[in-house]
Amino acid sequence: MAEALLPGLLRARTDRHLSVAGTTTSHADLLAAAAVVADSLAGRRRVAVLATPTMSTVLAVTGALLAGVEVVPVPPDSGAAELRHILSDATPDAWLGAAPDDTSLPALEIDETARASYTPVQVDPERIAFVLYTSGTTGLPKGVLLSRRALTAGLDGLIDAWAWTSDDVLVHGLPLFHVHGLVLGVLGPLRIGGSLVHVGRGTPEAYAGAKGTMYFAVPTIWSRLAESPDHARELTGARLLVSGSAALPVPVFERLKELTGHEVAERYGMSETLITVATRADGVRRAGWVGVPVAGVETRLRDEHGADVPHDGESVGRLEVRGATLFDGYLNRAEATAETFTDDGWFVTGDVAVIDADGAHRIVGRESVDLIKSAGYRIGAGEIESTLLGHPAVAECAVIGAPDPDLGQKIVAFVVARTPVSAADLTSYVGEELSAHKRPREIVFVDALPRNEMGKVQKKRL
């Protein structure tokens, strides 16, 4: 069996292109360049890739996948603490391509001009492709182990749902260290053999300027497009507009319909499960609903006692999923992995939802207030709280996600200061330790945090 993950790329077409932040290459050329990278990785087990939105990242990831080497995509703006954690937890052999300053890990340089013919390598489908770091409610981010089997099943489910073909030109401007931008947004086109335009930064101008058949974005980008009518109208000629990573507000769906003539197709997923539920290209589109399970995935709703909740379109339950798209667990975290599965083997998403009699899903919210979704990024309140507590001026703090029309939720930190400190100092401290999107947008200084008799902070009162 030859390489089974990216058969579209192996067709090496010269009339299918990837364009990333202004650099364009054909599939044939990317394959030849990635073959050199793959050859250079003999004997390697796992590499870290500083996942800037560039062709270098696409080349590094593609080369490693062709070689069957695991990739740890690292957010390019990772702060000191976040970087230390990812590297010590994942223990990659080396950086592949660019490395951050002051790293002790060796860096394997990539010669982007080198070309070789690709020699098929047989890779076990159960082999891990990515270790993707994602936030939990507490503690440090966990490495989600995604196998090639899961990626294949996840992409094939979407290819089927969206009638995605090699004639499609996908446009997006999403980061390349999460499922949305990396798996759907880069491996999708490489699996189907279609074209990609990655616009670099996901602005309305950039989306409007790229001519594609399919557009992927998070709700923040869709909402900015809805407020920029001239740019939104440029998407009228597309085949499919897709939203995911967070809830698309109904007014944004309605406004985009007026401006583009398209009803945005929403889909739902997680780092741990890939995309499990999607609105089909030929299916019903309903504002606020995210579609039906993709091929190979089953879903169910349970109440707090583990009893089934009816699929009647109204009853709310905890959403559980199972199927071929699921992760293989969290790296080095057997206990945390076990906690996310029910005794009978279903993954507990932490989201609450309703399902109707036709199998359509509506995501109602999340069970925990400690998982924040801001601009499509999943952010753990606990990680930001621990970081803030590391600042000498912070005596106590509590972090919440406050509703925000642009970001969905914005990070707000309530801080009891020990000594005088400015909000700007605390914000930049979080940016230096973690990453830019984990910085609080607002710091509220308070004299004390509301606590219950047990001493636990009552976040609902903040």
List residues near ligand MLC by CB under 6 A: 174-175, 178-181, 202, 218, 220-221, 244-245, 269-270, 375-377, 427, 436-437, 439-441
Q: Which of residues 168-207 bind ligand AMP (CB under 6 A)?
A: 178-179
DSSP state of 294: P
**Between residues 169 and 218, which has the closer beta carbon with respect to ligand MLC?**
218
DSSP state of 221: H
Residues 6+ apart with CB under 8 A from 287: 248, 250, 253, 254, 263
Binding site partner of 363, from ligand MLC, ligand AMP, none, Cβ cut-off 5-8 A by kind: ligand AMP
In whole angstroms, the minimum distance from the beta carbon of 266 to ligand AMP comes to 5
347 and 406 Cβ atoms separated by less than 8 Å = no
Site track for ligand AMP across 133-172, x = CB under 6 A:
-x--------------------------------------
| Total Cβ atoms within 10 A of residue 451 | 13
Distance from C-alpha of 396 to C-alpha of 391, rounded to nearest angstrom: 10
Residue 320 phi/psi, 5-degree rounding, is -125, 145
Residue 131 phi/psi, 5-degree rounding, is -110, 105
Question: β-strand 107-108 against 17-20: which pairing, if any?
Answer: unpaired
Is the dihedral angle over the CA atoms 145, 150, 151, 152 positive or is it negative? positive
In whole angstroms, the minimum distance from the beta carbon of 179 to ligand MLC comes to 4
**Between residues 351 and 433, which has the closer beta carbon with respect to ligand AMP?**
351
Candidates 133, 162, 164, 268; binder of ligand AMP (CB under 6 A) is 268
Candidates 145, 265, 363, 417; binder of ligand AMP (CB under 6 A) is 363
**Between residues 95 and 216, which has the closer beta carbon with respect to ligand AMP?**
216
**Between residues 141 and 181, which has the closer beta carbon with respect to ligand MLC?**
181
Residue for token digits 């391509």? 97
Residues 6+ apart with CB under 8 A from 265: 162, 240, 241, 242, 243, 278, 279, 280, 281, 285, 291
Distance from C-alpha of 55 to C-alpha of 98, rounded to nearest angstrom: 12
In whole angstroms, the minimum distance from the beta carbon of 267 to ligand AMP comes to 6
Task: Tell me if 271 contacts ligand AMP by CB under 6 A.
Answer: yes
Candidates 247, 412, 413, 417; binder of ligand AMP (CB under 6 A) is 247
Residue for token digits 């071929």? 324
Task: Tell me if 351 contacts ligand AMP by CB under 6 A.
Answer: yes
| Total Cβ atoms within 10 A of residue 390 | 12
Task: Tell me if 62 contacts ligand AMP by CB under 6 A.
Answer: no
Residues that bind ligand AMP (CB under 6 A): 134, 178-179, 244-247, 266, 268-271, 290, 349-351, 363, 366, 373, 378
